């Protein structure tokens, strides 16, 4: 019940915060579905249930996690260094998000520490989309916690399912990690620059695959995105705008 002492501004603020909570929970539920895929694909790549759950708990960055298991699935344990490097390269974006979200997470070292863990695509997107400082803070924390809890629970569920299936190669899951990553990439190909980056990276990876050890073609292809992004090649003025990716 709304107090009769509350002014119009406080009433609007409460409405904004309720919207932020609903948005955060909705995003958390939607993102959790990907956790099942990651858990199953991680087991298919040769990781154990415990290792899979540990990765989601500590790394907690969907795109980096899919990149890691994708390279491991292609090259096995020998591709470990390349898989870690590729995952780390994708994880750099979370540090950039931290610059944007730092003013809204609140004061205190424990909040800063927790925020570093929960600064992901979804929490950044929902938090920054809110109209006021308080609603932005609410959106950030609710989304981050909702995604963290849902993602880790469904990762465990997916790993259990993948482990129960036995030989995952019989079901084609050994190639599914790459397919899942392409599925995550596809919705972002809306402008000329990302489309050309994707095409160039694909060509570089394809050409270098027969000559390099598993995992290295991914890193070489990633240099294409770094170079094109650094010099902002192919970008039109209308395409240059702040954008936040989802948990990928």
pLDDT digits (tens, 9 = 90+) for 15-72: 989 999 999 999 888 888 888 888 888 888 888 899 999 999 988 887 778 877 777 7
Instruction: Kindly state whether residue 247 falls inside one of the protein's structural domains.
Output: no
Question: How far is the C-alpha of 77 from the C-alpha of 80, rounded, in Å?
Answer: 5
Provide the number of structural domains found in the chain.
Answer: 1
Instruction: Kindly state whether residue 171 falls inside one of the protein's structural domains.
Output: yes
Give the pLDDT of residue 242.
Answer: 43
Instruction: Kindly state whether residue 245 falls inside one of the protein's structural domains.
Output: no
Residue pair 19/27 in contact (Cβ under 8 Å)? The answer is no
Instruction: Kindly state whether residue 125 falls inside one of the protein's structural domains.
Output: yes
Instruction: Kindly state whether residue 156 falls inside one of the protein's structural domains.
Output: yes
Residues of the chain with pLDDT > 90: what percent? 17
Domain that includes residue 224, residue range: 8-239
* CA dist list (Å): 221 to 66, 68, 89, 122: 16, 15, 12, 26
Instruction: Kindly state whether residue 248 falls inside one of the protein's structural domains.
Output: no
């Amino acid at each position: 019940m709304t107090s009769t002492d509350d002014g119009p501004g406080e009433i609007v603020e409460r409405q904004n915060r309720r919207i932020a909570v609903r948005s955060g929970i909705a995003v958390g539920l939607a993102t959790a579905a990907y956790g099942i895929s990651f858990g199953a694909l991680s087991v298919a790549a040769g990781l154990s249930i415990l290792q899979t759950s540990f990765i989601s708990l500590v790394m907690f960055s969907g795109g980096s996690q899919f990149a890691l298991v994708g390279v491991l699935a292609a090259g096995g344990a020998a591709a470990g260094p390349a898989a870690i490097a590729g995952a780390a390269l994708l994880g750099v974006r979370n540090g950039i998000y931290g610059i944007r979200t730092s003013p809204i997470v609140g004061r205190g070292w424990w909040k800063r520490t927790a925020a570093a863990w929960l600064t992901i695509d979804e929490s950044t997107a929902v938090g920054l989309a809110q109209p006021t400082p308080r609603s932005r803070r609410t959106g950030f924390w609710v989304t981050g916690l909702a995604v963290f809890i849902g993602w880790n629970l469904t990762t465990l569920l997916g790993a259990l399912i993948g482990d129960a299936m036995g030989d995952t190669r019989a079901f084609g899951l050994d190639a599914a990690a790459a397919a899942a990553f392409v599925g995550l990439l596809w919705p972002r190909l809306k402008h000329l620059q990302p489309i050309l980056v994707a095409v160039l990276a694909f060509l570089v990876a394809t050409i270098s695959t027969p000559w390099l050890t598993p995992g290295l073609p991914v890193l070489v292809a990633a240099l294409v995105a770094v170079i094109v992004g650094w010099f902002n090649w192919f970008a039109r003025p209308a395409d240059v705008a702040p954008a936040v990716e989802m948990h990928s």
